[in-house]
Amino acid sequence: MKKYIIILILSVISLPSLACDICGCGVGGYYLGILPEYNKRFIGLRYQHKALIAHLGPRGERSPLTSDETYQTAEVWGGWNMGAKFRVLAFVPYNFNSRLAQAGDGHKSGLGDVAVMGYYNAFSTRSNVGYDLLLQSLWVGMGVKAPTGKYEPAERALSTESPNNFQLGTASTDFTLNAAYDIRLMDLGLNINANYKINTQNKYDYRYGNKLTTNALIYYKFRFFEKLTIAPNAGMLYETSQQDTEGGKYTVEVSGGHALSAIGGVEATLGRYSTGANYQHVASQQLANNRVNAGDRLMIHFSVAF
C-alpha cells in the first residue's frame, strides 16, 4: 500500500512543467476537489466564475489593447460507481464569456466541450491507528473530451497578440490522465487530485498546450445530528501548461505559463444532498510571457445522490 502512495506522490511532483489556456480560464482544464459523498450515483450542478486581464504590456502595464475577460460556466456533472472498482464522471458545461476592451467588447455563450472520465480503484483500505480508524483510497484513470463547443478561427485571427482563450471550445478531441487519493484519520482528511490533459491539433491547425492541474486539500468533517456533515477545507492548487502551437510547428508566444492558488472552502452533506463552495486566490503566476494576469476564482456546486 505504501508503494502506491509513494508512486502517486512522485508522479504528481515529477510531471513536467507545462502551462495554461489560460490556467483554468477559457477552454482550460478540470478542477475536481472533494467529490460529493455517494455510494452509487450522483448528479448535480456546478457554477464557476473566472477572470483575467489579457494583452498587457511587456512589463505588465495596461495598453490600448488590454481587455478584461470574464468566463462563467454552468455545468451539469455526475458520477456513477459501477461495483467497488469502477467509477465514471461526466461533465456537460455551458459557457458564458464576456470581454471589455477599448478596441471593442465581446460576448458569447453556448455549449462547451463535454468530457467523460473513467476511474479504477487501485486500492481502498481500512485500518486502525490506536483506537482511531484510518481510511485510504486511490483512484486512477483516463478520460476524453469531445469537441462539442464552438471554436471560431476568426477569433484567433483577430487576437494573434493575445491568448486564444475567448472560445467556447477547442475543436479538438483531447485526453486526460487522472488520479485521486484520499486519506482520512477519523474525521481529519487529506484529498489529492491530479489531472494531466493531452491536447490534439484541431482542424484549424491550432493545438492548445498540454496541461497539468493538481490540488491538495486538508479537510475536517464536523458531524451534527444523524445526517448533517459540514467539512471546511483548505489547500493549494497548481496549474501549468505547455505553450500552444499553430500550423503544426509555430509556437504561440502569448500562451503557456503556470499559476499557484490558495483554496478555502466548505462542503456540506445532509442525507443524500450535498452542496459546497470554494474560493481560489491566485498567489503567484507567470502566464503568457507576462501578457496575462489571472484573477481569483469562485466555484459553487449542488448535487443529489441516488
E-state strands within 37-103: 41-54, 67-82, 86-101
Residue 39 is predicted with a pLDDT of 86
147 contacts 167 by C-beta, under 8 angstroms: no
Tell me the CA distances in angstroms from 240 to 15, 19, 37, 254, 287, one per residue in order.
Answer: 10, 4, 29, 14, 9
Residue 105 is predicted with a pLDDT of 86
Report the amino acid identity of residue 16: P
The length of the chain is: 306
Q: What's the whole-model pTM score? A: 0.88
> For 135, what's the count of Cα atoms within 13 Å in the CB-facing half-sphere?
8
The C-alpha cell of 62 is what? 495596461
The C-alpha cell of 165 is what? 482563450
220 contacts 231 by C-beta, under 8 angstroms: yes
Spell out the domains of the chain, with CATH numbers in brackets: 2-305 (2.40.128.130)
Task: State which residues of the chain have pLDDT below 50.
Answer: 1-20
Distance CA 100, CA 255 (A): 20
Residue 16 is predicted with a pLDDT of 35
Q: What DSSP assignment string belongs to 206-267? A: EEPPPEEEEEEEEEE-EEETTTEEEEEEEEEEEEEEPPPEETTTEE-SS--EEEEEEEEEEE
* Cα angle: 199, vertex 204, 205; to 5 degrees: 60
Distance CA 288, CA 306 (A): 43
